[in-house]
Every structure is written in structure tokens, then in C-alpha cells.
């Protein structure tokens, strides 16, 4: 077992600010979406990714990777959204084993209804609290964290 590199005071302050802030932001955004649109934050993100796709559809495996979610968790969410008429699943034309999730017109309408309140909440709980310099530092730093963790997990079938 190697030597433990303990956090110094400033590093601990960073860690102790990050954990509750990330949890509180996620909770606030999820609550706002559920109250105003009946969507979970994950369901909103699913609609965002499908809507942004050139054809309005993505393979379930690709969608799971983009969302950094398990395939089983995504399958459950897409199933719930399919029952609500927001998405539909269909066989992938170019792969017998592949399944596509596609946004429906109702899914696009739900996204349009949910987006203004969601953006307002994102501004309230995160964007408008920070200076432009702080936003840049956070985006740069957390972007590197994200990229490193994704690179380490590359090829992991859980995503």
C-alpha cells in the first residue's frame, strides 16, 4: 500500500464545497423540472440529446454513453417516456441487435414547455451566482475532470 497524499486545507475546502453544491444543484433542478413539467432531470437530458441528434434518434448504447448512465437505467427511463408518448423505440435499420430511441412530436413539445423554467432555474442556482471568471474556471476544471474520467472508462460496457 502506497503513501496517502492527504488533502491540504485548500484542497479540503474545494472538496467540501463541491459535494454539497453539486448535490443541491442537482436536487433543485430535478425538483423544478418535476414540479413544472413532470419530467425528471434525466428525462429532460434524454429529450435534449434526442432533439439535438440530426435524425431525432440515437442508439440506446450511444445515448447511455452520452448521459453517463447505465443501459438498464436508461432502458427503464425510456420505457416510462415511451408510455407517456415522449419517445419511441424501434429497431436499428443497420443493426439487428441495435435499438433506437427517437423523440416524438409530443417529446419536442414537452421539451419546449420545460426549457424556459429549467434555464431560469439553472441561472438562479448556478450561473448568476458566479462571476464570468469563476464560470470559466469551473467549466475548464470540471471539463478536465469529466474528460479524464471518461477516458479512464472508455470501453466500459456500464456506460
- Domains of the chain: which residue ranges? 20-125
> Out of 1.20.120.530, 3.40.30.10, 3.10.105.10, 1.10.10.10, which CATH number does the structure's domain 20-125 have?
1.10.10.10
Cell digits of residue 56: 431525432
The strands making up 99-103's β-sheet, listed across from edge to edge, are 57-59, 99-103, 87-91
Phi, psi of 96 (to 5 degrees): -65, -30
Judge whether 54 and 64 are in contact, CB under 8 Å.
no
List, for residues 13-69, the tens digit of each pLDDT value. 999 999 999 999 999 999 999 999 999 999 999 999 999 999 999 999 899 989 988
The CA radius of gyration of the chain, in Å to the nearest whole number, is 18
pTM: 0.85
Amino acid at each position: 500500500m502506497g503513501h496517502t497524499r492527504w488533502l491540504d486545507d485548500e484542497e479540503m475546502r474545494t472538496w467540501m464545497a463541491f459535494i454539497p453544491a453539486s448535490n443541491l444543484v442537482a436536487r433543485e433542478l430535478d425538483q423544478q423540472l418535476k414540479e413544472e413539467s413532470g419530467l425528471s432531470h434525466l428525462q429532460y437530458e434524454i429529450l435534449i440529446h434526442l432533439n439535438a441528434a440530426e435524425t431525432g434518434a440515437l442508439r440506446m448504447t450511444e445515448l447511455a454513453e452520452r448521459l453517463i448512465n447505465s443501459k438498464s437505467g436508461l432502458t427503464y427511463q425510456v420505457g416510462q417516456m415511451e408510455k407517456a408518448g415522449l419517445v419511441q423505440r424501434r429497431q436499428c435499420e443497420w443493426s439487428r441487435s441495435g435499438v433506437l430511441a427517437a423523440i416524438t412530436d409530443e417529446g419536442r413539445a414537452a421539451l419546449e414547455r420545460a426549457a424556459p423554467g429549467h434555464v431560469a432555474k439553472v441561472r438562479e442556482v448556478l450561473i448568476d451566482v458566479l462571476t464570468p471568471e469563476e464560470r470559466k474556471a469551473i467549466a475548464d476544471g470540471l471539463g478536465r475532470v469529466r474528460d479524464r474520467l471518461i477516458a479512464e472508462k472508455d470501453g466500459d460496457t456500464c456506460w
